[in-house]
């Protein structure tokens, strides 16, 4: 395909309630969408970068700049561009995986819409429904946390993930485990909030029978994660540390993790995400699909990814209503037994609602 024009669309989606993690509080999702027009079809991508560089080095304004100034001139020069060619074409431009992922996603959506194929089919999905978990942010009080968990379990979610940080870890985990018993699939996510000095504290989480501890240490401290993994019985899962199939293999082989959270935006796109999945299947390491408070566009693509065979743990593929009163696509919902249907339509299988997009619009510009 030949890219004719690209539109950068920025929207602000108010959250139904503040979402607090160890690196801050979100009240509005500041989302960058990428719309690619070709002669055959249009495609949409979503950039998962946040407003500020707190989860990663990328941030929305920076992604807009690098797409506009560097990435689009390269891609627009190709007369026959496929999604599989986006990463190689941009490889000489270092970093900026979230921005690259948004472009690849948009090109892949257009390519698949033109061919009449779905994301799930293209990636190799084998399920028509995927099990869904929900990520519960840090709360002010334990009763408030338990009320939130009550609500999510009533909605059918099969797995609960608790965000933790120093001072909010053992007590909330103990409270949830005592309230709901050992049968609840429960895991925690630290978002790099701890250090090697906290090994003994993190070891105390072993008593709660957790599925995993996600990214407890700094993303660059693979050796520290390997030491921690040897000191505790709860499986260590890496998130921020895994940026490619190569880094996933290295982390697994050095013993830094025994579970991997795959976030397509973090690793440069859905095609690299599939490569990470394939490495983990080869090494017999379970994977699951993480979330970045995506709109319905990214949510639909994540559900398609989670339909691949190696995704044996429930992901953060929650309903649109978990975060947004109004999504920019038709809402994606979890059914009462905690599963979400994989979209089967061409491309992403969901469409942007133009009127809603206008209501939530912050800015839009055509490039190229």
Catalytic residue numbers?
Answer: 163, 263
Residue appearing with tokens 């690259």: 100
């Amino acid at each position: 395909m030949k890219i004719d024009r690209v539109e950068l669309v920025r929207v602000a989606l108010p959250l139904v309630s503040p979402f607090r993690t160890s690196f801050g509080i979100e009240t509005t999702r500041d989302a960058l969408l990428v719309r690619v027009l070709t002669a055959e079809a249009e495609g949409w991508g979503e950039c998962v970068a946040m407003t500020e560089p707190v989860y990663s080095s990328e941030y929305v304004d920076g992604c807009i700049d690098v797409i506009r100034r560097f990435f689009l001139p390269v891609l627009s020069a190709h007369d026959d561009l496929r999604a599989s060619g986006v990463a190689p074409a941009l490889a000489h431009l270092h970093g900026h995986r979230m921005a690259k992922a948004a472009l690849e996603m948009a090109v892949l959506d257009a390519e698949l819409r033109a061919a009449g194929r779905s994301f799930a089919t293209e990636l190799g999905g084998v399920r028509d429904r995927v099990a869904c978990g929900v990520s519960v942010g840090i709360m002010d009080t334990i009763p408030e946390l338990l009320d939130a968990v009550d609500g999510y379990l009533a909605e059918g979610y099969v797995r609960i993930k608790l965000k933790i940080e120093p001072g909010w870890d053992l007590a909330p985990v103990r409270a949830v485990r005592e309230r709901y018993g050992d049968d609840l699939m429960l895991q925690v996510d630290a978002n790099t909030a701890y250090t090697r000095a906290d090994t003994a504290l993190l070891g105390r989480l072993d008593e709660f029978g957790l599925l995993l501890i996600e990214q407890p240490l700094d993303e660059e401290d693979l050796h520290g994660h390997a030491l921690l993994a040897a000191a505790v019985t709860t499986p260590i899962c890496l998130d921020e540390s895994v940026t490619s199939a190569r880094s996933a293999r290295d982390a697994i082989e050095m013993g830094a993790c025994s579970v991997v959270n795959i976030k397509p935006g973090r690793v440069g796109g859905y095609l690299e995400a599939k490569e990470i999945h394939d490495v983990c299947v080869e090494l017999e390491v379970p994977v699951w699909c993480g979330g970045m408070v995506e709109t319905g566009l990214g949510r639909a693509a994540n559900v398609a990814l989670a339909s691949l065979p190696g995704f044996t743990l429930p992901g953060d593929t929650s309903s649109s209503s978990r975060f947004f009163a109004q999504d920019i696509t038709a809402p994606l919902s979890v059914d009462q037994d905690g599963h979400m249907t994989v979209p089967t339509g061409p491309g992403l299988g969901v469409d942007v609602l133009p009127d809603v997009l206008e209501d939530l619009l912050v800015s839009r510009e055509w490039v190229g």
